[in-house]
Amino acid sequence: MAHQIAQDVLVVSSSDDHLVPRDQLRHLADALVDARSVATRLTTAAEHAAEHGQIGNPDLVVDEILRWMAGLDRRDRLLTAPSNGRGPSVTPLAR
């Protein structure tokens, strides 16, 4: 099913997750072959977020998601901004 996803994707995993093996982060990211973009984030014990669901530090993941979304917004605004004579304007490809 991952090969059917065409949107931007953020994959978050925990370094010491007892339910989801760490290598699943890379396997899933690699399987997202048609995604518009793929970002990964492995949370760690140093961040108090090494367990399943980042249970020790859920705010870390919320902040990461918000940063990721803001980055997508910046990218999309740059891609659709008029050129103002300083180079070509680019329109993102629709999937």
| CA 29 – CA 12 distance, rounded (Å) | 10
pLDDT digits (tens, 9 = 90+) for 7-17: 999 999 999 99
Give the model's confidence band at 88: pLDDT under 50 very low, under 70 low, under 90 confident, else very high: low
Domains in the chain and their CATH numbers? 2-80 (3.40.50.1820)
Interval 28-83: pLDDT, tens:
999 999 999 999 999 999 999 999 989 899 999 999 999 999 999 999 999 988 76
Q: Are 73 and 37 in contact (CB under 8 A)?
A: no
* Spatial distance between the Cα atoms of 1 and 28, rounded to a whole number of angstroms: 10
The Cα 14–Cα 63 span in angstroms is: 15
